[in-house]
Amino acid sequence: MKKLYNYHTHTKRCGHAIGEDEEYVINAIKAGFKVLGFSDHAPYKKPKPTERMGYEQYQEYIDSIKYLQNKYKDQIEILIGLEVEYYPSQMEDLLRYRKEMDFCILGQHQQEIDGKDNYSLNKPSQLIEYATSLEKACDMGLVDIVAHPDLFMFNYPRWDKHCEEATNIIVDACIRNDIPFEINCGGIKYGKFRYEDGSRFTYPHRKAFEIVSKKNCPVVIGHDVHDPKHFIEDYWLDSTLSVVEGLNLNILDSYDIVSAANKRKEKLFGK
């Protein structure tokens, strides 16, 4: 599969990625990407240096990517975005980022800022709460991709009717709002674990993508790059796609995320 675009790219500002911004661009070009969207973890009022950039880094992040946009404009299209979470208490920031960024992707790592970690969900009610938060962000028009939607399976012991319900909520929200459901390459780095229903990667989860396939929900590949060299290593994408091998997924050959974002902004803020 050709690597044409990626809208899930981090920088060392988040505290858990490595490499310089320009290294990501250079390796994306080497790998054949035509569009590269940076989407580092958005800053919020409560700083957490190992999870997201600080407010004081926000403008420097923008300036750095804009410099690279100009320097490499003849080789690759570069966009500036953020990976946000739906935190109602942080709505002022969310709306600001929505206005200022080329695009936003939704990666719901916690239910509320510095609240319960969604990597450790193990109760059915928590799955529905997680799915509902994603649904609200989509319905508001705050985001243009739902990143690693099946992250809730990280610690959940088995696939059951509650997982199916949560996935249906998210998939239906994506379809209703024409927002792609991401198949995320980042879960591969954790390796495989043994769960009650067998050994698997934490995410992506095949059962979730069976629902995505059945409903013909649009899908984008999110490389979720935290290290520039991952752009030129086939292992991450090949391993991710092996999970969904044989499924008829509606993976988008292209996605004009800026046009999609502008339409949502117009609906949210007016002309």
* Domains of the chain as residue ranges with CATH: 5-269 (3.20.20.140)
The DSSP element (H or E) to which 221 belongs, if any, is strand 218-222
DSSP state at residue 194: E
Distances in whole angstroms, Cα of residue 39 to Cα of each of 35, 181, 188, 248, 261 = 13, 16, 19, 28, 14
Token digits of residue 139: 């319905």
DSSP state at residue 259: H
- List phi, psi (to 5°) of 13: -65, -25
The full length of the chain comes to 271
Asked if 145 contacts 257 with a C-beta cutoff of 8 angstroms, the reply is: yes
- List phi, psi (to 5°) of 224: 45, 55
Residue 204 is predicted with a pLDDT of 97
What residues in the chain have per-residue pLDDT under 50?
Answer: none
Residue 118 is predicted with a pLDDT of 66
Residue 110 is predicted with a pLDDT of 83
Residue 46 is predicted with a pLDDT of 76
Residue 214 is predicted with a pLDDT of 99
Asked if 65 contacts 43 with a C-beta cutoff of 8 angstroms, the reply is: no
Residue carrying structure tokens 């994603």:
134
Residue 111 is predicted with a pLDDT of 77
**3-class SS of residue 35:** strand
Residue 96 is predicted with a pLDDT of 97
